[in-house]
Structures are given as structure tokens and as C-alpha cells.
Amino acid sequence: MKKYFFIIIILFLSLFSAGCENTDFSVVTDAGIDAIKAVTLSDENVKKIALKASRQSDIKHKIAPLSNLYGKRLYNLIGTKYSSNGYDFNFKVYLSPVVNAFAMADGTIRIYSGLMDMLNDEELLFVLGHEMGHVVEKHIKKKIRLAYAGRAIRKGIASQENIAGDIARSSFGGLIELLINAQFSQQEEREADDFGIAYLQEKGLNLQSAVSALKKIATLGNKHSFLSSHPAPEVRAKRLQNQIDNPEKTGDPSLVEQIISRLKEWKNILN
């Protein structure tokens, strides 16, 4: 994988150094640094980036104290901290009617009160398990690496003193928003769903809660922002129902599905 990243970096730098007279080489250098970072980011650096992003996100939102009904409900369900698979997760509620939840690579899990209003306790625990799954399966780390790679490409375009460069320069930033609204591939969603249902099973809870949670989320409509980061919940619900009914039968996505999902990821990062 790293070999292909380095090939892309070399081609990328040679492409933007071709038109020397219209190129800002300081920006090209920055772009090259970002491209290398995308390849070499360690788990420790990923967690530092995620921690900084989660702190900034917390500043922008109103957090429910433990005395609040939402804060108390979450605390009674899972507490403020939970350790699993070598990760220390921390949980908070954003007091907002928005229906959303997200995870950061450092173990930060945030859920919006709007989503809590939709779900019963066991359904909520499935969603929390799902978000933890994105962390454990290192999906968030990949999003951060893709963000750096995407920023490197945008910087390379921005090094060109033309209209395309002006447009690219205006799109810098937004790492926090990208992570909060990260769009996951079908395979990543399957893995997170499996982690969520395993979490319910570990707690001795009703696995049907995973199915009912996804069916409720599906009622939001295709244009809802939560569904852009958690696609096709009704399809995922059917898959989990089949998995519950036939635990011995599990199917992985085809290679074509995986390739299409990866291409969509890159398109979303670069838009």
C-alpha cells in the first residue's frame, strides 16, 4: 500500500513542477510534506490529531452535564469511560436536535441528543457499539490519512497561479468537519455494525435492537446528513436480520463492491 502512495507522490510532484513559471514552490513543498504524512502517520500521531479535533468540536457544542437528563441517561447506560480492545473510549452528549453520532481515533464518542430521542436504550447501545467499531477497526485512522492525502492534492493544485489554484486555496481546512461527517465504505459500515451487534451480545441484550435502530434511522430519508455518513441503513438492517436468523451464513462484499466503495471515498475526500 505504501509503495503505491509513494508512486502517487512522485507523479504528483512531477506534475505540478512541470509548469515552473506558474508554480508556487513553497506550496508544492507543503503539499509534498502532507502527502508523506498521509503515508507515515503513526497511531500515536493519529490519536493526537483526533484528540485536538475532538476538543475543538467540544468547544463548538453544548455538552450535556451529568445532571441533565441526556447526560444522566448516557452515564447510566455506559458511563463516561469504557475500555475495549485496547482503546479507552470517552462519551459525551451534544445538546442538539441534530440526528448524528461520530467517533474519533482517540476513542472520543459523541452522540447528539436528537439521535437519543429516536432510540431506546438498547438501540442507543448498538449505535455506540457501532461507533466504537469504527475506531477499533481503524476506519478513522484511514480517514485522517485520506484527509492528508486529499489536502496534499489540493495544495498541489493551489500551487498553480490560475483559477483552479484560487478555488483549491479556498478549500483548505475543514478536517474536523470531515472527521465528524466521515463517509464510510459499505465494508467499513459492515464491520462497525458487526462490532455493534457483538457489543449487544456481550452485554446479553436483544440483538433485534440493532435491526430496529437501523430501521428507525432509515425513516430520516435519503437526503438526511446522518445517512450520508451511514449509507443504506435499511439494507444494513436486512443484512443484520439475516445474520441473526442465520448466524452460520455470513458473506463478504465482492471485489467490485470494495473497489466502488474506495473510489467513492476518494471522490468524497477531494470534493
Which residues are the active-site residues? 131
Cα 215 versus chain centre, distance: 21
CA distances from 222 to 63, 98, 113 (A): 28, 15, 21
Q: CA 125, CA 195: separation in Å to the nearest integer? A: 11
Identify the three-state secondary structure at position 56.
Answer: helix
Contact 116, 93 (CB under 8 A): yes
Sheet with 81-84, strands from edge to edge, namely: 81-84, 87-94, 108-112, 101-103
Q: CA 155, CA 29: separation in Å to the nearest integer? A: 9
C-alpha cell at 243: 445474520
